Amino acid sequence: MPTPEPVPFSTLLRTASSEEHEAAEHSSFMSRLLGDQLGIEAYADLTGQLWYVYRALEERAEQLAAHPLAGPFIDPALLRTAAIERDLAHLRGPDWRDGLAPLPATAAYVARIEELATEWPAGYLAHHYTRYLGDLSGGQIIRGLAEKAWGFERKGDGVRFYVFEEITNPAAFKRDYRAKLDAAGEAMDEVERRRVVEECKRAFVLNGNVFHDLDGRYPLSA
Ligand code: HEM
């Protein structure tokens, strides 16, 4: 009998994390935020937390660019920190850093990314995939809803985080990204592949925990 074709690593990551994706997408905070049940403060709050996350993802990008496995994924076109800072200046004013602090779940998420960026770049890749491919996918839905709910200029200040100026063809970019994931998967043994898949699920859970903390800041009115 012929041996079955191995599942491409990009497919494995997507299918293995689909339940976690569902949970993040339908989390109370995201549902309320995108259902226009929370104000612009909650959106600004989310953006502030994302600033910590992307700083952690991006501050070691230069060193990671030299890494054989993670290196091919490091791409200046993805960098989000500067875009988030512009959004925050719009949302919170020029002194946007004043009073901004990471929620406990954000601090835990950041600590995990920082740990992986230095100690296990394949694990870092799981986080890179979870955030950036998500931003290029569902992030575009979020942008549209945010523009509508809070009147931001289309692709302008407030939603720049979701706008990848240098990626003119997101579908092609995602195809290339998935091909790189497949190649990375082939360079790993089975144990390592499984560990990366588990880390990807964990990345979703860490995101879900941030939403949970944010949700707690906006109690349902009685
Ligand atoms: C309300 C929130 C969300 C919506 C509406 C949403 C929606 C979507 C949609 C429609 C896709 C498929 C796009 C395509 O096939 O190209 C997608 C893919 C993806 N999303 Fe989300 N999403 C949300 C939240 C999230 C969150 C919180 C994360 C992780 C932090 C995430 C990570 C991903 C990833 C990694 C993919 C790519 C899957 C793959 O093709 O490998 N999403 N999302």
Q: Is the C-beta atom of 126 inside 6 A of ligand 1?
A: no
| Closest protein CA for atom 3 of ligand 1 | 25
- What pTM value is reported for the model? 0.95
Q: What is the pLDDT of residues 17-37, one digit of tens each?
A: 999 999 999 999 999 999 999
Q: Which atom of ligand 1 is nearest to the CA of 24?
A: 27
CA of 95 to the centre of ligand 1 (A): 32
Q: Is the C-beta atom of 146 inside 6 A of ligand 1?
A: no
User: Shortest CA distance to 197 belongs to which of 108, 188, 133?
Assistant: 188
Longest dimension (CA), the chain: 66
Question: Chain centroid to CA 144: how far?
Answer: 17
Q: What is the pLDDT of residues 42-91, one digit of tens each?
A: 999 999 999 999 999 999 998 999 999 999 999 999 999 999 999 999 99
The amino acid that residue 3 corresponds to is T
CA of 129 to the centre of ligand 1 (A): 11
